[in-house]
Amino acid sequence: MRTMVHRTGQQSLVKKLLRISRGNMVAVIVITVCACFLLVALLAGWQIGPREQISVAVVQGGGGVGSGFVVSSDYLVTSSRVVTGSDNTELLFGDGRTWSGKVVLNEPETDIALVSITGMANIPTPMILGNSDGVAEKALVAALGYVDGKYAVTEGTVSEVTTGYIKTDVTFTPGNLGGPLILKDTGEVIGMVFFPANMGEEQVEELRYSISSNALLSICSERGFELVR
């Protein structure tokens, strides 16, 4: 379950507490403390929590080590560059579980790969793929993934939005390849970190691109793989 802030519920709670507090100084103090916490929650909005970490995995393939994330009860998506040359790939999830999954889609031209997790017990909750068409420049984003084997959250802003792609103002590491790009306002996935086919290995320091969630959904659907939205 996503860690979300429900503003309507919080406002109703504040009103109820205010009614209870009349004539009760202790209640006033308690309400003041509660109100401070509610205000912080309202300002913070969606927060990256344990669910997101569990749904993101280290991916070990023929192309090296990268990241991936669960997009349905059947599939984990990652970068084609990571699993290149592999029929199967090893996954290590945020809760410590491992899984050897079959690579069922591997497209170097789009840098999209899907790994089957069918049969895995207690599959991590699929991450929600948002509508990337509405993403604007300067929007706050975060890339989730594994850098040098450790879970990391790389925050930044959107610097450019083009058809099918999103560019950010922060540089990702190869460990981020295949990991999700999150829109911080909602917690929804708006892209997958990828390495454009027209970029050379020497340009790894320019790794700032994500294929948009809408393009990811469309390409997978065209290949016969339906993902969660």
Q: Is residue 58 part of a domain?
A: yes
pTM over 0.85: no
Parts of the chain with a pLDDT under 70: 1-52, 197-206
Q: Tens digits of per-residue pLDDT, 119-177?
A: 999 999 999 999 999 899 999 999 999 988 789 999 999 999 988 999 999 888 888 99
Q: How far is CA 153 from CA 48, 49, 57, 144, in A?
A: 9, 11, 13, 5
Are residues 83 and 109 located together in one domain of the fold? yes
- Say yes or no: 110 and 135 in one domain: no
Pairing between β-strand 56-61 and β-strand 88-93 as defined by DSSP bridges: antiparallel
Is 123 domain-assigned?
A: no
**What's the CA dihedral at 46, 221, 76, 205 to 10 degrees?**
-70
Q: Which domain holds residue 143?
A: 128-222
What is the CATH classification number for the domain harbouring 106?
2.40.10.10
Q: Are 114 and 99 in contact (CB under 8 A)?
A: no
What's the pLDDT score for residue 200?
Answer: 56
Tell me, yes or no, whether 151 and 82 share the same domain. Answer: no
Residue 2 domain-assigned (yes or no): no
Are both 136 and 198 inside the same structural domain? Answer: yes
Q: Is residue 122 part of a domain?
A: no
Domain boundary among 85, 116, 147: 116
DSSP classification of residue 179? -
Question: Do 155 and 208 share a domain, yes or no?
Answer: yes
